[in-house]
Structure 1
């Protein structure tokens, strides 16, 4: 059974609970800054582990000392769903362990 898309109001309400995240087109996005490229790479690996656990994957972009996530739900026609916010919250929870801001 496909995941149901969230309404614009639901998306706005949930974004208010996740500072740093924003809606960019049909995806929620956030860029984290880290101290070094190696720290950013380790953060990407940890995010990938969470995505595997949730069976929900974002587009990850690794920069020199940045990591950007862009996420939406493919089985909801590319819309934003609760699954996206679950992933975002999990990434936010692990960010302090990597000194990601």
Structure 2
């Protein structure tokens, strides 16, 4: 099943290094930074940035897995980590990353 078709689950464990590497290869715009994965999205203006943040907020509320966001005029940095997995990266982070990418692509089309 594709990441985008999955749903976050409570108690998701930390991913092992091989799984982490495989999922990062599948989502090449994301990078591992410390104990989280992150991606910066670019937009044409603040209105477009906030539209993305609003769409992202609906998805993360549905998934009950909330990222750290840094919103600027034409950029939004999204970072995921799983607190219940000891502040490490879990499958939930990659599920939400794939869904965030889909939101971004849909809004750019």
Q: TM-score by structure 2 length?
A: 0.87
Aligned equivalent of 2:81: 72
**Superposition deviation, residue 16 in structure 1:** 0.3
Aligned equivalent of 1:57: 66
Q: TM-score by structure 1 length?
A: 0.94
Q: Pick the aligned partner of 1:2 from 2, 11, 15.
A: 11
Q: Pick the aligned partner of 1:93 from 102, 105, 109.
A: 102
Q: Distance in 2 between matches of 1:79 and 1:43?
A: 25
Q: Distance in 1 between matches of 2:91 and 2:63?
A: 12
Q: Distance in 1 between matches of 2:105 and 2:26?
A: 17
Aligned equivalent of 2:27: 18
Instruction: Structure 1: give runs of 5+ residues left out of the alignment.
Output: none
Q: How many residues align?
A: 100
Aligned equivalent of 1:84: 93
Q: Distance in 1 between matches of 2:29 and 2:39?
A: 6
